Structure 1
Amino acid sequence: MPENVTIPEQGREGLSLPSPINMDWTYPDRDVPHPVYLLVYGPSSPDHTWRDLHWSVGWQPAPDAWRHIQVDTYDVKTDPAPQPRYVFWGTRTQSAGDGDESAAHLPLGTLDREQRRKIEALAWETPVMYPNGDWNCQNWVRGLFEKMVEAGIVSQQTVDEVVTRAETAHGALPGR
């Protein structure tokens, strides 16, 4: 198994493109409790395993928006190696409809804004690794889950149940 080595600046070091658009100014995350989910997105090809599915932590600050905590794939051949790589740009809000409705929504709990802000802060403490053919977004989300459990935001039992469901639900997810 390849060794995991942290990539500087959550993968952002040396990149030429700006972060994806964040629409939190349009859909602010208000001070009300929201259900928070592990979102598991369907595969991009029919030949897949559960390791090929994209994982994201998210909630809906408004009916037509999702706030995501995730790593993204970045692949600009003219930027410094390694390419492609994973990047954490920070938490961002997007309009609904980018596949969120077809993702599996696995509940982590209903959390208040202070708890959600703590998750956002913990995401900055969750390292992104150099690409090695093994580490991916699922490993990053699992690292975030460890920090969430340590902070008392979610229970280990909830995380274990959600991860088990995510690992076994891939056959039921529609293709992207």
Structure 2
Amino acid sequence: MLALYKTGLPNEGSNISSPNFKSSDSPTTTTPATLSMAYLPNFGRPKGMPPRMGVIKPQDDPKAILPVTLTVCPAIQYRTGARQTSRNCHWMLSWNIGITGTGHIAQRRLHVHHERDIPHLTNWGPMTDAVTRKEQAAMVVIPLKTMTYAERQALEKIAINALVKVPNGQWNNQDWCIEVLEEAVKQGILSALEAKAATDRASQVQPVLAELQCL
């Protein structure tokens, strides 16, 4: 289950990178030396830490056409805390695939996590989590595209291979999602207009006052 995201996480900066949703773009050439300096090894997965596990096996994603969304979990603004902005909100690509044994929505999710006591973000790959009522009430769900099972599998493959940058005070989970979407546009999984429309709306989501968040 996804906890409401705390603010002030590694890489949480104030400037979002400019999306470059152009299907005709050629991949940027990066030398191994540059790559090792810019990105974390092993997708930021800490040594000795077991991978996060979802609640339902990946193969339970139905082979049907399903709406895929760019989902935003608003940051929480505390009265005594630092001022939060839309850049502190957590983004993820997601789609609902069924109901868990406890009656919660089972949701397939592509995003990067901030693990406790780890000074950077981590890409554990796609997983399926249960959506609590609190999460469901707080989330801002933005339509991206209705996708076939094959398209979702292709999107997952992109996410599995999406690297995590070394903390620099600017790049964060939103930029990771944008990079995944940029590659999806290049591969023809969705259009540049679809990607831009979703990210434009997501960037407008503002933090929620702590006293107003759902119980």
Whichever of the two has the greater Rg, that structure is: 2
* Alpha-carbon distance, 1:59 to partner: 0.2
**Structure 1 runs of 4+ with >6 Å offset:** none
Structure 1 unmatched ranges of 5 or more: 77-82
Residues 27 and 65 in structure 1, CA contact (< 8 A), matched pair in contact too? no
Q: How does 1:2-21 map to 2 (within 5 A)?
A: 5-14=38-47, 16-21=48-53
Q: What TM-score do you get using the length of structure 1 for normalisation?
A: 0.86
> Cα distance 1:175–1:131, how it changes in 2: closer, same or farther (>3 A)?
farther
Structure 2 residue 129 is matched with structure 1 residue 94: yes
Give the % identical residues: 26
Q: 1:149 — aligned with what?
A: 185
Structure 2 residue 145 is matched with structure 1 residue 105: no
> Cα distance 1:130–1:32, how it changes in 2: closer, same or farther (>3 A)?
same
Residues 84 and 207 in structure 2, CA contact (< 8 A), matched pair in contact too? no
Residues 74 and 205 in structure 2, CA contact (< 8 A), matched pair in contact too? no
Q: How does 1:1-176 map to 2 (within 5 A)?
A: 5-14=38-47, 16-25=48-57, 28-46=60-78, 47-63=83-99, 64-76=105-117, 83-97=118-132, 99-170=135-206, 175=213
Residues 42 and 175 in structure 1, CA contact (< 8 A), matched pair in contact too? no
Give distance in 2, aligned partners of 1:154 and 1:45: 34
Count of residue correspondences: 168
Q: Which letter maps to 1:157?
A: L
Structure 2 unmatched ranges of 5 or more: 1-12, 14-33, 100-104
